[in-house]
Amino acid sequence: DQQVKQNSPSLSVQEGRISILNCDYTNSMFDYFLWYKKYPAEGPTFLISISSIKDKNEDGRFTVFLNKSAKHLSLHIVPSQPGDSAVYFCAASAQGGADGLTFGKGTHLIIQP
Amino acid sequence: GAVVSQHPSWVICKSGTSVKIECRSLDFQATTMFWYRQFPKQSLMLMATSNEGSKATYEQGVEKDKFLINHASLTLSTLTVTSAHPEDSSFYICSARRGLAGYTFGSGTRLTVV
C-alpha cells in the first residue's frame, strides 16, 4: 500500500511558466517531507524540505506547500527552466526525519522551450 | 556540503556469486545510513537502516541473510548481495544522514546479475 502517492507520472510545462508537482500521503505519522530531483542512473539530489510545523517553505525558485489536513503537499517551480527537466520524487519521514524515507513513484517533469 | 560516495557505480555478476557495494560519507560522520533499491520506473524502496556498531534494521520483506549490511565505522556502510539471482538486478542507492533529517544520497549502483 503506497503511503506516498504522486498521481501524475509526467508533467509537461512551457519554459518560463510555473511547474506544480503534487504529492499525497496517507500516514499521519509523517512529519517531515522532502522533494528530490533525479536523473536516470544517478542518486537523488535534495531540493527542498518542510517540517509539519510549517505550511510553506521557499528556496529560490522552489516553494513547497504543505496542507496537513488534506495530507497533501506540492512543489512549485517558478520560472521553469529547461534544466529542471528530470524526475521529481516526493519523500516523507516520521520522527522529525530520524527514520528512513518513504518515496512516491515520481513525476517526470518535461520543460518545453 | 555533505558528500556520499558509492562504489561501484555499476557491476555485472554471475548468478550465485556475491557482490559488495560500499557507501562512504566523505566529509562527515554518519551514525545512520540507509539502503534503498529502485526497480525501473518505480519508486525508491527503503531496504534497511544501517547503524554504526549495531545490527541493521531491515524493512518487511527484505531478507537479512541475503542482503548483508555492515556499518563498521562512522564513514562506511557496505551492502553485500549474497548468492545473487537475476531478480536481484536493480539500482541500489545508499543515503547517509547528517544531523537531524539531513539526507545525502550516493550516486547509486546498477547491479546486473546474469
| pLDDT tens column, A40-68 | 888 999 999 999 999 999 999 999 999 99
Mean pLDDT of all residues belonging to chain A? 94
Distance CA B86, CA B84 (A): 7
Phi, psi (5° rounding) for residue A32?
-145, 130
Interface of B with A in 60-99 (CB under 8 A): 91, 93, 95, 97
Q: How far is CA A11 from CA A83, A90, B12, B96, in A?
A: 15, 15, 34, 30
Chain A to chain B, count of Cβ pairs less than 8 Å apart? 62
pLDDT tens by residue, B2-13: 789 999 999 999
What is the C-alpha separation between A57 and A41, in angstroms, rounded? 29
What residues in A contact B37, CB-CB < 8 Å? none
**pLDDT tens-digit readout, B26-64:** 988 888 899 999 988 888 999 999 988 888 999 999 999
The mean per-residue pLDDT over the stretch A67-94 comes to 96
- CA-nearest of B58, B69, B44, B21 to A42 is B44
The burial class, CB within 10 Å (0-12 / 13-18 / 19+), for B43 is buried
